Structure 1
Amino acid sequence: MKLQPALIFGQNMILQRGIPIPVWGRSVRDDTVTVVLNGYTLHTQAKRGEWRVTFQPMEAVEDTSMTIASAATGERIEFGGVAIGEVWIAGGQSNMEFLLKYDEGADEMHNIPQDPMLRYFRYPQTSFLGQLERDAFPDDGFWRKWDSVENRDHFSAPAAYMGHRLRAVLGVPVGFVGCNWGGTPAAAWTAAEELDAVPALQAVLDWHSRACAELDWPKYEADALHPDKDPPPEQREMLDALMMGGSPELLQKQRPPRPPEGFSPFEPGPKAAVRPTGLYENILRRVAPYGVRGVIWYQGEDDDARGWHAFYDESMKALIQSWRRLWKRELPFLQVELAPLHEGLGKALNYAVIREKQRDVMDALPGVHNVCILDAGDARNIHVRKKRPVGERLALLARKYVYGEMELLADSPRLCSVGRADSTVSLKFLYSGSGLFWKKTSCRPLYVEADGSMVAPEIDVCEDTVTLHSDIFSKAKQIKVRYCEENYCEAALFNSAGLPAFPFSVCLNR
């Protein structure tokens, strides 16, 4: 075993300022390893072939270096262009993985001047031990700067938009570590002990156990020996069309023949990306304990597709707690609620429930804050091509709750109290700013019932309160109000910062 730092350490990396900086890797047994960072030197022994040093917290630096040397082998590895600033994990599935080149604002982002202090590292998508060493990952596993079109196109779009906002405000290097994989459930990113401890998640473990019991094991192991091949050009073209919002009908007509059956990371099995705890073990634990400020998370579509919506809050609480235990810190967790979707390129089954569960997680755990994007959906495309509001709203939450701008209006309006009097129902909201406003939409966002009959009330909006008026209310024993609790909906209520209100439903009895 030669000197080998962990993959995440490399040329142009960004390290987290203000907290201890761990550096680790492998070498020959009992080797003396010397690490020099930003002028500071540490020595350690590679007991059992593994080594680790931890530097004291450092201030932001735009250009420094790291040198790692082995006394036993004489090897010396030097990484230049190292910066120290702010680092976030960009986690989740395809809408976080979503490359900037597919975003509707890509051309505009390409016109932004080069910024070498904004960088992105995506960890290779590996789902089993040995895959990282066996397979080739030409687009991943190294730090990209915001300079060339090629590099910009391979940024996570939400991370790119968030990063630009943070760079403008903080004035220090900003980097993101991509731990994301489309089509994966929350359980794949969660520690085994957390899954085992939650009764509701036994359904996920049972699902995988049943699937494994039906495997043709010799065939499975034989298929898994062969690395995934690059898709042929026609499949790449189909992927581009899929991400760019091509019609489902056109894609179906142009779909190339399916490849021969073989190993798929999306089918259950002991090496699958979708298996419980698989990506936690093979991606996340290889990134930890790299210094990070917090996590941005966009995921939930796969759990919805698998019918796991009813306990998605338990899934996410287990995930967040396992990540915090791994880093031994209460990492801030900024999660994106699912965008509106009906059916087309993807199908929403219970998105309204998933969003509700995401808010339950926000209420249950400290340091968790949600982005609402009810105004940024696409009825027919699960991969919404407008990631600007996602990234910019994540930046707002980070500025307020992580970087201390507590007066900043960063939260979406949220219902806090209700009341009824005669012919009116009053709905009062937190985070209204200088006042709420109501916007016309092409589909109905608000449903009101009085004793089981639909009502179309007049709507008045003033400061932090929405008032509904109807003569029917004065005689009704029960009034129900429901706002944007559909899989596909269009936001109508916003605060003065242009942030859409969270969905809600209330029932008022006389």
Structure 2
Amino acid sequence: MRVSRVRKWFCFLFVSGLLCTATASADVRLPKFMGDHMVLQRDMPIPLWGWAAPGEKVTATLGDDKAEATADDKGEWRLTLPARPAGDPLTLTVTGKNKLTLTDILMGEVWLCSGQSNMEWVVQSSTNAAQEIANANYPQIRQIKIPKVPSGTPQDDVAGTWAICSPQTAGGFTAAGYFMARKLNQELGVPIGLINSSWGGTAIEPWTPPEGFAGVPELKSLSDQVQQRSPGNPAYQKALNDHIAQTEAWLQKAKAATAAGNASPPSPAFPESLKAPATHSDATGLYNGMIHPFVGWPIRGAIWYQGETNSGDGMRYRAKMEALIEGWRKVWGIGDFPFYFVQIAPFQYGASAPSVLAEFWEAQAESAKIPNTGMVVTTDIATINDIHPPNKQDVGLRLALLALHRTYGKSDVVDSGPTFKSIEPKGNELVVTFENTAGGLKSRDGQALTWFEVIGPDSGWTKAEAKIDGDTVILSAPGVSSPAAMRFAWHKLAEPNLANGAGLPATAFRAGEVPRVDFLSQVDDAKAYRLMCDIDLQKLAKNVTYDVDNRSQMTTPFDRIGYLVELQSSGGAAQFVFVSMDAFTNDIKKIGIPDLSSGAVFQQQVKNLTVVSNAAGITSGANLDGGNIEFWPHNYGQQNTANVPGASNTTFDFGDFKSDPQDGYGSMQVHNFKAKQTLFSINHWANGSGADLGIGNSTGENSDWTFSGNAGNYTTKRLRVFVRPTRQ
């Protein structure tokens, strides 16, 4: 009897537990980011969504507005309340089998704040923090901080609590967002809600939705990678089926080996390309976990402070910004909402080239040409040795100026510094005209204008004297008789002083046509050669595509092959080397960069080497007998297995050996082994701006430039390949 009663009691508890669980799962529920004290976007329809028992009727009431919905067979429901103006605090009730009540809800302006550490940077770490926090009595400003949760798949919910701005809470608010919100609240007189979804040290790619990558042709490879790991995508299904087939074949072999008492072969590894994003570094991972849960939640716009992690991207960042902005807009479905972003500040960025940040600023400025966007310039409010300038007050103010002028229609607000309009050469001067001068250009510190440079046909980049004349700046420089081009703030540490009448700064830019030196004219027998290939090495990639490719038109035999390499770093003089040699192949397809598709693999001495160069230390001459080439797409090692005279076995130089894989690091090197010189190197071309480029011997550990990763240091980088038709 006792046992039977225990069993009955256990069954009762078990069934009761099931009933309780079922009841709990049927409760009407809202996403966790909808809570007390939240700010809803005024003047837009208000969507609400959540979960309930399938078929359950849900009623939502906000003030005197009411809407109803019925949960579908998945237990999901959605309804829309009418748009409301800003006004008194409201209570939201959502009723089904249970009732939810959210209080102190404000109607106002909602802004999404995203990016990396400079957006995550809080008020308590900013300039004059103690006083700012003490004065932060703005109960109409609220923030929700989204937890740092990357995800491999788009999430439907995320936790978060809305905080009311006060001296007790403001220290933890995003500083850029708070100082923007403060100005907007003062000027508009309405509540401001901040959705703070930011994470320090993150790149732009994790924040971008798949739809964004798919919409930008320049990012096709990234889009393909994202699609490859998306379940349901044909590419994913094919790769998965291939893996399943390989695994099934392995299972048969493993079973047979086990039955025979033999060792089993290793099982196939799950393909890396199919693995879902798992960290904050993976493309789409932060969008999935930290943006997707509230996609469609009405917002006025977004502010973005990011780029430090992508600072070496150059103009490619413009494409990534387009993917982010248009991707968010597409998935949100509320039109081209405003998107305002902050220029990253001057900073050393290690041993990177001086121009690397200027080229990135140029990409950011180009991003501001995307419709309904704007950029805050920060070169005048930096802390030069701090990647996190603590002056976030001016950052937030300038974000607010953009919004007040462009979003809220305040026509009397100046929101931009002077911007380039035109350039005109006049004798020994360049006249640069600006727009957005707000009553006239000026030097913000009263000193002579800084960070202007000019270049002419017979000079390198030279510091210019700059004089303001109304809306123009007149540039000239000693020793530059006919300046043809100019650049401004073209250095990663530039803190220029050009501003407009409103005191807002100009951003880095360049204009005019940089004169190209005709190095080919310095080669005596150049007229005997025909151009086969021409490539701007800025376009280096795994599969090399030439700007000019005449090889298919070459139908006559040739007896000489020549290479002209030109390199110029920011602020440095242009260097070139022309090397020619007796033809080492009669296959015209194998004379260019030896990527995998070319079929070119050569390690051999070449005859009658001719060298012409303006680079210091290079041995020039005709018909030299120390020529050697190492052309291959393979990896390679230091050992001098080819027994090139004088080469090292312990460093990468003019005598290395190729190794697997065939589609590896890649080497295109011409040497003069008698002079112990690398004449030029183009290595690791698949790495693009991180490829190895050099003329002459590198001063680093490896004289042939291996592992230098320096292609991004050059503003000019060009390769031309020639052949000389066989003389009859």
- Does 2:295 correspond to 1:288? yes
Cα distance in structure 2, aligned partners of 1:345 and 1:120 = 38
After TM superposition, the score normalised by the length of structure 2 is 0.57
Q: Could you say what secondary structure the match of 1:41 adopts?
A: strand
How do residues 87-126 of structure 1 correspond to structure 2 at under 5 angstroms?
87-126=110-149
CA contact (8 A) 2:318 2:366 kept: yes
Where does residue 505 of structure 2 map in the other structure?
A: 500
Deviates more, 1:436-445 or 1:352-361: 436-445
CA contact (8 A) 2:277 2:283 kept: no
Where does residue 185 of structure 1 map in the other structure?
A: 203
Where does residue 272 of structure 1 map in the other structure?
A: 279
Deviation sequence 1:166-205 (CA, Å, 0-9, x none) = 0110001011111211122222111213324544334546
Where does residue 399 of structure 2 map in the other structure?
A: 394
How do residues 238-249 of structure 1 correspond to structure 2 at under 5 angstroms?
none
Deviates more, 1:342-351 or 1:389-398: 342-351
CA contact (8 A) 1:423 1:471 kept: no
Percent of aligned pairs sharing the same letter: 29
Higher Rg of the two aligned structures: 2
Q: 1:348 to 1:334 in 2, by over 3 A?
A: farther
What are the ranges of 5 or more consecutive residues in structure 2 without an aligned counterpart? 1-24, 230-274, 516-728
CA contact (8 A) 1:347 1:382 kept: no
Deviates more, 1:337-346 or 1:125-134: 125-134
Where does residue 180 of structure 2 map in the other structure?
A: 162
Where does residue 390 of structure 2 map in the other structure?
A: 385
The amino acid of 1:436's aligned partner reads: L
Where does residue 326 of structure 2 map in the other structure?
A: 321
Q: 1:45 to 1:412 in 2, by over 3 A?
A: same
Deviation sequence 1:14-69 (CA, Å, 0-9, x none) = 00011111111112222111111122111111112111111121110231111111
Where does residue 194 of structure 1 map in the other structure?
A: 212
The amino acid of 2:299's aligned partner reads: V
CA contact (8 A) 1:13 1:82 kept: yes
| Alignment match of 1:60 (pick from 86, 92, 98) | 86
The amino acid of 1:143's aligned partner reads: W
Cα distance in structure 1, aligned partners of 2:514 and 2:314 = 29
CA contact (8 A) 2:154 2:289 kept: no
CA-CA distance at 1:269 after TM superposition: 6.4
How do residues 33-432 of structure 1 correspond to structure 2 at under 5 angstroms?
33-47=58-72, 48-70=74-96, 73=97, 75-128=98-151, 141-149=160-168, 151-204=169-222, 270-304=277-311, 307-328=312-333, 329-343=335-349, 350-363=356-369, 365-432=370-437
CA-CA distance at 1:297 after TM superposition: 0.7
Alpha carbon RMSD of aligned pairs, Å? 3.1
CA-CA distance at 1:332 after TM superposition: 0.7
Q: Could you say what secondary structure the match of 1:352 adopts?
A: helix
Q: 1:508 to 1:194 in 2, by over 3 A?
A: closer
Cα distance in structure 1, aligned partners of 2:212 and 2:354 = 27
CA-CA distance at 1:502 after TM superposition: 1.4
Cα distance in structure 1, aligned partners of 2:346 and 2:100 = 48
Q: Could you say what secondary structure the match of 2:416 adopts?
A: coil
CA contact (8 A) 2:443 2:449 kept: no
CA-CA distance at 1:423 after TM superposition: 3.4
Where does residue 231 of structure 1 map in the other structure?
A: none
Cα distance in structure 1, aligned partners of 2:393 and 2:351 = 20
What are the ranges of 5 or more consecutive residues in structure 1 without an aligned counterpart? 212-267
CA contact (8 A) 2:368 2:375 kept: yes
CA contact (8 A) 2:60 2:66 kept: yes
Cα distance in structure 1, aligned partners of 2:353 and 2:70 = 53
| Alignment match of 2:455 (pick from 446, 449, 452) | 449
The amino acid of 2:412's aligned partner reads: E
CA contact (8 A) 1:187 1:277 kept: yes
CA contact (8 A) 2:39 2:109 kept: yes
Cα distance in structure 1, aligned partners of 2:352 and 2:101 = 45
CA-CA distance at 1:309 after TM superposition: 3.5
Cα distance in structure 2, aligned partners of 1:130 and 1:367 = 30
